[in-house]
Each structure stands twice: as C-alpha cells, then as structure tokens.
Amino acid sequence: MEAYREFAALYDRLMDDVDYDAWAAHYLALLQVQPGEKVAEMGCGTGELSIRVAQSGCALLATDLSPEMVCVAQEKARARGARIQFAVQDMARLRVPRPVQAVFCGCDGLNYLTDLSQVFSCFSHVFDALRPGGRFAFDISAPAKLERMAGQMYGEDREDVTYLWINEPHPDRRTLEMALTFFVRQENGLYRRFSERHLQRIHHPQELTDLLKKAGFSEICALSGLTMQPCAPDDERVHFTARKPL
C-alpha cells in the first residue's frame, strides 16, 4: 500500500481543523519571501500552504511524490486563481529549472524520509537548488509527539466517511507505521473500503541540525511550534530554518 493515493480525495475534509492561514504566515515570516522571488515547495500535498504562499506574490514551484495529491492541488490552485507550477518529485531529489531564493517543506513531510541517507540527500539537493544566501525552512512532528502516538488507535465517524488509524512503533528503526482504513459512502448508500500505510521516522532535532551543517547550511535554528523560540524536548512540532552562505 502506498501513501496518499485514494486518501488524497478525502484529505481536506479530514484536515478541516488545521489553521493553514497561521501556518502559511509563519512560513512566510521564516523564509522572508519577497514578491517576485522564486520559491520551491517539497511535499505540497493538496496545496493549502502552496496557494497561500503563492498569493504573497512569489513565483512558486510546488512538488509532491503523490500524483493524486498534486492533481488535487492543481485543481484547487486553478479554482482560487493562484499561479503555481506543479511537479511530481521525490523530496530526497529536488530538481528546479533554475536556482530559487527559498525552499520549504510543511506538514511534517521530512518525517516521511525514514533513512538518514535520504535526509542528507534531501538537504544536499535543496542546498544545490538555492541561490547563495537562499533560505530553507521545514517542520517535523517532534519525537515527543510520535512517541506519544506509538501503539495508539484513533478513529472518526463522519456522515459520509469513517476511518480507523492504528499506530505500530518500530523502535529498532525509530519509525512509526500508521495503518489507515477508510470506509467511504457511495451514491447508492453502500460503503467502499480502502487502506493505506504511512511510515514516519522519529527525527531528533540535533541529528537534523548536524545533517544541515554537513550539507553546507549555516544560521541553523530549531524553533518551537509556530513561535520564534528555541525548541524544547516536549514540543509536538519543530520548525527549522537554515541559510545557504553567500
């Protein structure tokens, strides 16, 4: 089972409690994006952050590994009048037509890189994609959050969709396997079932900081949630910023 295939069509309905306005504003503050600057996004998902960032006036290339998610994002961007170039890409091997001023990856996309060699490949490709002085920002679900979720089961029963979410930890690999099963009501009243498997790695802020330095970045910060304060061990989400030297 691959992640974000049939789930793509349901994602926005089930994530309707996320404050994307605040999240996008935080990324714009971290990246210091100016109108007209070229920006690349990794793991764009259904494009909620993409559209808001593009509406700031930058020229955005938004990428995701899931063709289904990119398709949803394209349709939404078109409907909202946001001019965004989309591409299906693996974030471990980011490619841009020409160097950009900023790169970002929201919604814990980096947690889906489950091997540190993939993370280093990602950081190296981002470094190469940036202009000198360019900025990189991303967030992760922090260790405290994923460790708390280990072994837990979640679920929700809505009018037209029900889902079950079971988390199985793999401590030896520092990963959390998320098994999701969906039941979606069809026009005839019957329910269609499908399942997806998601795998995320528990990344510690220090190891990511070390890999950013190894890739060549400087001015590295690990920040607590949607704040400008240094991260703490009990944070649920950590945002990182880094800069490519001039």
pLDDT tens by residue, 134-187: 999 999 999 999 999 999 999 999 999 999 999 999 999 999 999 999 999 999
Q: Are 208 and 240 in contact (CB under 8 A)?
A: yes
Third-level CATH fold of 145-201: N-terminal domain of TfIIb (2.20.25)
pLDDT at 3: 83
> What pTM was computed for the model?
0.96
Say which CATH class 6-140+203-243 falls into: alpha beta
Parallel, antiparallel or unpaired: strands 100-105 and 84-88? unpaired
> Amino acid identity of 129?
A
Tell me whether domains 6-140+203-243 and 145-201 share a fold: no
Domain spans in the chain, listed from the N-terminal domain onward: 6-140+203-243, 145-201
Environment class of residue 13 by beta-carbon count within 10 Å: exposed (0-12), middle (13-18) or buried (19+)?
exposed
pLDDT tens by residue, 9-19: 999 999 999 99
What percent of the chain has pLDDT above 70? 100
**pLDDT over 80 (residue 2):** no
Place of tokens 């920002």: 137
pLDDT tens by residue, 184-241: 999 999 999 999 999 999 999 999 999 999 999 999 999 999 999 999 999 999 999 9
DSSP letters spanning the chain: --SSSGGGGTHHHHTTT--HHHHHHHHHHHHT--TT-EEEESS-TTSHHHHHHHTTT-EEEEEES-HHHHHHHHHHHHHHT--EEEEE--GGG---SS-EEEEEE-TTGGGG--SHHHHHHHHHHHHHHEEEEEEEEEEEE-HHHHHHHTT-EEEEE-SSEEEEEEEEEETTTTEEEEEEEEEEE-TTS-EEEEEEEEEEE---HHHHHHHHHHHT-EEEEEEETTSSSBP-TT-SEEEEEEE---
